[in-house]
Amino acid sequence: MQTNIGKKKPLKVILDSNAFFVPLQFKIDIFEELKTLLNVNFELIILSPIQKELENLSRKNSFKTRKWATFALELTKKCKLLDVDRAEGESSDDIIVKIAREWGSPVFTNDRQLKKRLRDINVPVIYVRHKKRLEIEGRL
């Protein structure tokens, strides 16, 4: 009989939409980089509003944006989709902040404003450093 005693749950890492553009923009394998950076068992989470954002980008913008968003949507298949209800007037960033605070989960984003909001509530932020590698700010 197997038990879960002593087994830690995987660290949940929430990804913002721009995290999925990093492989195309900076030629960084985000999945391998996250393994190296975090060095723990983790689970990548995409929130349904972020998924919808990428789906909209894949249909409604310039050819380059549509192409990148379509690629990003392929990458989201490696993540667990969390269905989240969006309140009236609530932005995707608001939802990320709320869930990251609730879970105490790090967020992978390159969005300057979102990074500041997360830092202000002591949520670890993963981001691209020097266009070469991922870095984490804050404690896990």
Walk me through the domains of the chain, giving residue ranges and CATH numbers.
11-137 (3.40.50.1010)
In the prediction, which pLDDT does 44 show? 98
Q: What is the pLDDT of residue 7?
A: 67
Tell me whether strands 11-15 and 42-47 are parallel, antiparallel or unpaired. parallel
Which pLDDT does position 33 carry in this prediction? 96
Residues 6+ apart with CB under 8 A from 40: 8, 10, 11, 140
Which of 45, 39, 40, 38 minimizes the C-alpha distance to 14? 45
Q: Which mean pLDDT values do the consecutive 10-residue runs of the chain (140 residues) have?
A: 65 97 96 95 97 93 91 97 92 96 96 97 96 93
pLDDT score, position 98: 96
Question: How are beta strands 42-47 and 80-82 bridged, if at all?
Answer: parallel
pLDDT at position 61: 80
